[in-house]
């Protein structure tokens, strides 16, 4: 269909071929998009560069999203290479592992600051520097999760960070709307990725999601990638300030007795 033919944009957060950001990038690329990529430091370059080169990226650049000057430099380079952009994907999140374990009440101040800075405030920084070079009718969206509105076991401070991300998205949608820029969040159901497997008890979350979902399965990277394609493309021209769920219906279904039993087991 070439939904993205002639469209240019950037994805922050692709790290490997098993992640949600990659699933979105693949759908965009397959539909004709011209995609720039960033990576977080030299260690990640070895993973990201082959992916970006495989998608004919004209820009592959290091960027620590907590450093304003680096974000600014990325968008200045985008302007030199692409002129204006049509989409930006924020797929960046991090919290110290120790703050994803145990009780939320024991979250450290440092862990709180890191999680909210990397996972939520970075969207504000990115939007601030993207705004001047975004086309009218363009799209910015960030990845979130159900832990933003529910207390999900072992998600802890990341849930708070995702809640902040979603709230920031709504304010950004109002700020950027007059310029024709849409801002949304995409909330995926649990997907088995390298990042998610670092969450304690994640395998039980996957099993419970199947039991809860009306579609009786978990989402795939392809499912989430297609939802990302919708948000990045002109198909979502009337959608902004929203959280779009791609979770096989998990959010809308009550927990079953069997699911509760799974979640309660050690």
> Tokens 């110290």 appear where?
96
- Told to judge if 254 belongs to the known catalytic residues of this protein, a careful annotator would answer no
Q: Considering 22, 39, 145, 245, which one is annotated as catalytic? A: 145
Q: Considering 22, 39, 155, 245, which one is annotated as catalytic? A: 155
> Strand, helix or coil at 153?
coil
CA nearest to 157, candidates 187, 121, 113: 113
Cβ-based neighbour number of residue 48 at 10 Å: 24
Query: What DSSP state is assigned to residue 210?
Result: H
- Told to judge if 155 belongs to the known catalytic residues of this protein, a careful annotator would answer yes
List active site positions.
145, 155
């Amino acid at each position: 269909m070439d939904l993205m033919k002639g469209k240019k944009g950037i994805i922050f957060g692709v790290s490997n071929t098993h992640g949600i950001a990659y699933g979105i990038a693949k759908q965009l690329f397959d539909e004709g998009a011209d995609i720039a990529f960033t990576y977080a430091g030299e260690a990640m370059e070895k993973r990201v560069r082959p992916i970006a080169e495989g998608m004919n990226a004209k820009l592959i650049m290091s960027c620590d999203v907590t450093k304003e000057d680096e974000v600014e430099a990325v968008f200045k380079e985008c302007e030199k290479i692409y002129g204006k952009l049509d989409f930006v994907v924020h797929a960046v999140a991090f919290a110290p592992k120790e703050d994803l374990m145990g009780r939320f009440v024991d979250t450290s101040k440092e862990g709180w600051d890191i999680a909210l800075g990397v996972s939520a405030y970075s969207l504000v920084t990115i939007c601030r520097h993207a705004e001047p070079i975004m086309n009218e009718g363009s799209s910015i969206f960030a990845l979130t999760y159900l832990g933003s509105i529910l207390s999900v076991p072992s998600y802890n401070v990341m849930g708070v960070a995702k809640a902040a991300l979603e709230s920031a998205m709504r304010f950004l949608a109002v700020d950027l709307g007059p310029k024709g820029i849409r801002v949304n969040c995409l909330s995926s159901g649990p997907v088995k990725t390298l990042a998610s497997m670092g969450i304690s008890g994640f395998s039980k979350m996957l099993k419970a999601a199947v039991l809860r979902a009306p579609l009786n399965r978990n989402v795939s990277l392809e499912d989430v990638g297609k939802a990302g394609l919708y948000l990045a493309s002109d198909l979502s021209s009337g959608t902004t300030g929203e959280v779009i769920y791609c979770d096989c219906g998990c959010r809308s279904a009550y927990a079953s007795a069997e699911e509760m039993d799974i979640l309660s087991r050690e």
